[in-house]
Amino acid sequence: MIDQKDIDIIDQYLHDKLKGDALISFNIRVAADPEFAEEVELMKNISGGIKNFGRQELKNKLKTIAKKESSKQGTKRIFYWSIAASLLVLIGFAGYFYLFNQKTVEQKFVFNTVLPPFKNADIKFKEYQMQADKGAVISYKTGTIITIPKDAFVDKSGKVIQGNVSVKYRELTNPEELFLAGIPMNYDSAGHPLPLQTAGVCELQVFKDDSVLNINPSNEINIDFASAYEKSGYSLLSFDTVSKKWLKKEYDTAVVRLDEYVENNNNSSVFIPRKANHSKPRFKLVYREPSKFPEFEEYKNYSFEVSDNEKNYNPAEANINWKSVSIAKDNNTGEYLVTFINPGRQVTYRTYAVFEESDYQVALNTYNRKTKEQSGEAAMATDTSNLVSNASRIKNLQKDLSKKEKEEFVAGTIYRTFSVGKPGLYCYSKVIDKSLGGNLSVNFKDENGNMLNLKYAAILDKTNNTILRYTPEEFKSLKFDTTSQNVMIAITLDNNFAYMKKEDFAKLPVAGNCTLKLLVAPKKPESSDEISALIS
Amino acid sequence: MKRKFTSDESVIQGILCSDERALAHLYHEYADMVNHLIITNSGTKDDADDIFQDTIIVIYEKIKSGTFVLNSSLKTFIYSVSRNLWLYKLRQKSRDSKLEDSFMVVAVEELDVDDFYEENTNQDKMVNYIKLLGESCKKILLLFYYEKLSTRDIAVKLQLAGSDYVKTQKYRCLQKLKSLYLKK
């Protein structure tokens, strides 16, 4: 008869606690006592069953945690947006994504890590050496200008870095480069990955002696990002390597066409209203000869705000009783040079003419009317003042570049300006703002008609400037923009590059079942040019 | 109060203390890594979820049994276990069993995970009878046979009268389970 004592011994055996003589005695009893042996067998099953039950319970716990974590991430995202955006903008944006969500594809959110498919073909960074305590202006081959103020870098402890540092920078401007650099191109909208189109992606890294540096929060880096995409509606996003998501930073408000705004600004008769910035000093002036500045005619209640370019402003000068004041205009920058004069002493400040919030809209209406009258064209109904200022600043920066650098520029007329508070990956992107009408159920074969097993397939969408990636489980419903210029590529299970010629993909139907014949490249491509050559 | 797991040791300690936040931490830190490994190696999202759960179970059981020795980082360990579990599954499915370690280059420990998926029909059936037991029986048996706690520790954890009381209760629960099983 088995009793509690016997069960205790069996438990010790099952927990590997029987050693030496005790274990030998146990085994002898199992061999000699069939009832005990049967009980041991039963207890093994019970112990194993409890283990399986425990695993099921643990799995359930992990599933609950997974659900909680993903809902937390959604909550956090909404929280950050609510801080970053004004209410109006937030509603507009959320509504946009809601509406978009109704009509677009929901891809599985798996391509969320920067992962170049071929290590040797990753898009290279350009490395610049500079003195951290002096600052630098760096120009990249696309025309992008990176302005680094002095003392812009800190180490992990927050200590300002001095001496030589290495700045690494790269841009990814077309779908082939996005593919080779392995850039994720989905936006996570409350757990739903939505495909992004982009006006350009860039990445900045800073090192000192191989140690990664951060950016000094008091001296952020300014990037005037040269872009080939003029259309507005893109947002600045930064890639968060922890959550593996693109996070929205700001709207695309600073798009400038250098030729347009600088030319306008060079016309001395044009005065474009600016809104006052209350954190900056400004002063009001009364003219004896208003006709000297006919561009101010019809404008009321403007004052002069000290420009960002003015480094010598001394607030103490405001307490001096000046005998006279003169004004001159800098046609290159659009600034007004205001000179305060006393016998034996004078000071000049670079300023902009600005309006209080309450007067600004009136001034903007006046400007629009005057522009329309002068040019006969539709007036610009937007706040253009900062754009003019940016255009002037970029133009001035370009003056300092060498002839060779200028010649290298390929997209240097359209600029988007933003500041960088930490190194990393940034892009100007938006969710593809049209329905992805193409919907194919596909399988893949190689040129000999053999079934081709793929790690993933992708469409390089040249028109939207993006890459749409598909896992094998998504091959049943491969969605794409039928109005775009598309190219099909893939990575095989053994990590080779496969592709379809551009014209072959264009011949496919936009919906239904089809077998796609891919060519497997004899070797892995090593540059975006090689890919372009293969697919064309 | 929110607890921060600042080191691998603190996570292990959290699991030893059955702190559910340690599991949440593991999910938060490593689920994406495992997802990526599986999906880039011909697995699906569901496969990835299963492998991640199984990986955590392997680690959980090793920690609870006191046989867990951390020779590398927890991240490397989790990666190794996931990789081995997935290789096993791939072999089962007779798919291409060569994994592309493009995500992370690590010195993979050869862990014996084959017995993890070992099937035993009798044990699987037993699960159904365990589910028929009362909550207190399930708790005591789980803590003793799965979590490997002593009867004394179980008494403290469940605020029961003492070690002997737990022993008696456990014996009664086993008798109940046996009778359910033998009546089948």
List, for residues A522-533, the tens digit of each pLDDT value.
888 888 888 888
Query: With 0-12 CB in 10 A as exposed, 13-18 as middle and 19+ as buried, what is A265?
Result: buried
pLDDT of residue B184: 63
Report yes or no: A472 at the B interface, CB cutoff 8 Å: yes
A523: distance to nearest CA of chain B, Å?
Answer: 17
Note whether residue A181 is domain-resident. yes
Secondary structure class of A84 (helix, strand, coil): helix
Percentage of chain A lying above the pLDDT 90 cut: 17
The reply to whether residue B36 touches residue A54, judged by beta carbons under 8 angstroms, is no
pLDDT of residue A225: 87
Is the Cα dihedral A343, A348, A349, A350 positive or negative? Answer: positive
pLDDT of residue A256: 63
Which contiguous run of DSSP H or E holds residue A166?
A: strand A164-172
Under the banding of pLDDT at 50, 70 and 90, the label for residue A411 is: very low
A228: distance to nearest CA of chain B, Å?
Answer: 32
For residue A507, pLDDT over 60 is answered with yes
Do A326 and A198 belong together in one domain? no
The reply to whether residue A495 touches residue B36, judged by beta carbons under 8 angstroms, is no
For residue A89, pLDDT over 50 is answered with no
Report yes or no: A377 at the B interface, CB cutoff 8 Å: no
Secondary structure class of A67 (helix, strand, coil): helix
Interface test with chain B among A53, A72, A471, A524, by most B beta carbons within 10 Å: A53
Residues of chain A with Cβ-Cβ distance to B125 below 8 Å are 49
pLDDT of residue A253: 54
Contacting B residues, span 41-60, partner chain A, CB-CB under 8 Å: 41-42, 44-45, 49, 52-53, 56-57, 60
> What integer best gives the mean pLDDT of chain B?
81
**The tokens of A54 are what?**
């425990």
Do A354 and A370 belong together in one domain? yes
pLDDT of residue A163: 92
CA atoms of B149 and B161, how far apart (whole Å)? 16
What is the rounded average pLDDT of the residues A244-268? 61
**The tokens of B168 are what?**
């008696």
Burial A449-459 (b: 16+ CB within 10 A, else e): eeebebbbbbb
Note whether residue A78 is domain-resident. no
Note whether residue A138 is domain-resident. yes
Do A176 and A50 belong together in one domain? no
Interface test with chain A among B146, B147, B174, B182, by most A beta carbons within 10 Å: B146
Under the banding of pLDDT at 50, 70 and 90, the label for residue A259 is: low
Interface test with chain B among A45, A118, A239, by most B beta carbons within 10 Å: A45
**The tokens of B82 are what?**
């996931």
CA atoms of B12 and B63, how far apart (whole Å)? 7
pLDDT of residue A215: 93
Please indicate whether residue A300 or residue A215 has the higher confidence score (pLDDT).
A215
pLDDT of residue A374: 59
What is the rounded average pLDDT of the residues A57-74? 79
Note whether residue A237 is domain-resident. yes
pLDDT of residue A287: 62
Do A351 and A481 belong together in one domain? no
pLDDT of residue A102: 32
Do A40 and A116 belong together in one domain? no
For residue B103, pLDDT over 70 is answered with no
Which contiguous run of DSSP H or E holds residue A329?
A: strand A324-330
pLDDT of residue A389: 61
> Residue A297's CB: how many other CB atoms inside 10 A?
11
pLDDT of residue B110: 46
Note whether residue A210 is domain-resident. yes
For residue A153, pLDDT over 90 is answered with yes
**Separation of first and last alpha carbons in chain A:** 84
CATH topology of domain B8-117: Rna Polymerase Sigma Factor; Chain: A (1.10.1740)
pLDDT of residue A255: 63
Interface test with chain B among A9, A14, A42, A50, by most B beta carbons within 10 Å: A50
Number of structural domains (chain A) is 4
User: What residues make up the domain containing A8?
Assistant: 4-67
Report yes or no: B130 at the A interface, CB cutoff 8 Å: yes
The reply to whether residue A58 touches residue B52, judged by beta carbons under 8 angstroms, is no
Percentage of chain A lying above the pLDDT 70 cut: 77
What is the rounded average pLDDT of the residues B49-61? 91
Under the banding of pLDDT at 50, 70 and 90, the label for residue B56 is: very high
Report yes or no: B125 at the A interface, CB cutoff 8 Å: yes
pLDDT of residue A85: 37
Do A112 and A210 belong together in one domain? yes
Do A138 and A118 belong together in one domain? yes
The greatest distance separating any two alpha carbons of chain B, rounded to the nearest whole angstrom, comes to: 56
The reply to whether residue B23 touches residue A62, judged by beta carbons under 8 angstroms, is yes
> What integer best gives the mean pLDDT of chain A?
78
For residue B173, pLDDT over 90 is answered with yes
Do A426 and A442 belong together in one domain? no
pLDDT of residue B141: 94
For residue A333, pLDDT over 90 is answered with no
What is the rounded average pLDDT of the residues A384-393? 61
Note whether residue A76 is domain-resident. no
Residues of chain A with Cβ-Cβ distance to B178 below 8 Å are 42, 46
pLDDT of residue A176: 92
A112: distance to nearest CA of chain B, Å?
Answer: 9
Contacting B residues, span 105-124, partner chain A, CB-CB under 8 Å: 120, 122-124
pLDDT of residue B130: 92
Note whether residue A393 is domain-resident. no
**The tokens of A57 are what?**
């319970």
Picking from A410, A436, A531, A535, the residue whose alpha carbon sits closest to that of residue A118 is: A531
Report yes or no: A1 at the B interface, CB cutoff 8 Å: no
Who among A53, A113, A115 is closest to B130 (CB)? A53
CATH topology of domain B121-182: Arc Repressor Mutant, subunit A (1.10.10)
Q: pLDDT by residue (tens digit) across A113-149?
A: 888 888 888 899 989 899 999 888 888 888 888 888 8
CA atoms of B166 and B149, how far apart (whole Å)? 11
What is the rounded average pLDDT of the residues A166-175? 92
The reply to whether residue B130 touches residue A108, judged by beta carbons under 8 angstroms, is no
Report yes or no: B174 at the A interface, CB cutoff 8 Å: yes
The reply to whether residue B124 touches residue A42, judged by beta carbons under 8 angstroms, is no
The reply to whether residue B126 touches residue A50, judged by beta carbons under 8 angstroms, is yes
pLDDT of residue A498: 94
Residues of chain B with Cβ-Cβ distance to A66 below 8 Å are 27, 31, 49
Do A403 and A422 belong together in one domain? yes
Indicate where chain B has its CATH 1.10.10.10 domain(s): 121-182
Please indicate whether residue A164 or residue B4 has the higher confidence score (pLDDT).
A164
Are A168 and A126 within 8 A, CB to CB? yes
Who among B28, B36, B127 is closest to A52 (CB)? B127
What is the rounded average pLDDT of the residues A103-114? 52
B71: distance to nearest CA of chain A, Å?
Answer: 24
Q: Which residue of A has its CA nearest to B54?
A: A59
> Which residues on adjacent β-strands are paired with residue A148?
A136
CATH assignment at residue A174 = 2.60.220
The reply to whether residue B35 touches residue A59, judged by beta carbons under 8 angstroms, is no
Low-confidence winner among A61-65, B36-40, B115-119 (lowest mean pLDDT): B115-119
Under the banding of pLDDT at 50, 70 and 90, the label for residue A377 is: very low
Indicate where chain B has its CATH 1.10.1740 domain(s): 8-117
Under the banding of pLDDT at 50, 70 and 90, the label for residue A105 is: very low
Residues of chain A with Cβ-Cβ distance to B35 below 8 Å are 110
A12: distance to nearest CA of chain B, Å?
Answer: 11
What is the rounded average pLDDT of the residues A483-508? 87
Range with the largest mean pLDDT of A28-32, A276-280, A362-366, B110-114: A28-32
For residue A42, pLDDT over 70 is answered with yes
Residues of chain A with Cβ-Cβ distance to B41 below 8 Å are 455
Percent of residues in chain B assigned helix, strand, coil, to nearest 5:
65, 0, 35
Note whether residue A484 is domain-resident. yes
The reply to whether residue A493 touches residue B148, judged by beta carbons under 8 angstroms, is no
ipTM, two decimals, is: 0.88
Low-confidence winner among A314-318, A389-393, A458-462, B176-180 (lowest mean pLDDT): A389-393
The reply to whether residue A112 touches residue B60, judged by beta carbons under 8 angstroms, is no
Q: Name the CA radius of gyration of chain B, rounded.
A: 19
Secondary structure class of B127 (helix, strand, coil): helix
The reply to whether residue B96 touches residue A453, judged by beta carbons under 8 angstroms, is yes
A41: distance to nearest CA of chain B, Å?
Answer: 10
Q: pLDDT by residue (tens digit) across A471-488?
A: 888 888 888 888 888 899
pTM: 0.48
pLDDT of residue B114: 62
Contacting A residues, span 225-244, partner chain B, CB-CB under 8 Å: 244
What is the rounded average pLDDT of the residues B65-83? 82
DSSP B114: G
pLDDT of residue A479: 85
Low-confidence winner among A136-140, A260-264, A337-341, A517-521 (lowest mean pLDDT): A260-264
Are A39 and A2 within 8 A, CB to CB? yes
> Residue A33's CB: how many other CB atoms inside 10 A?
14
Q: Which residue of A has its CA nearest to B31?
A: A66
Residues of chain B with Cβ-Cβ distance to A495 below 8 Å are 100, 102
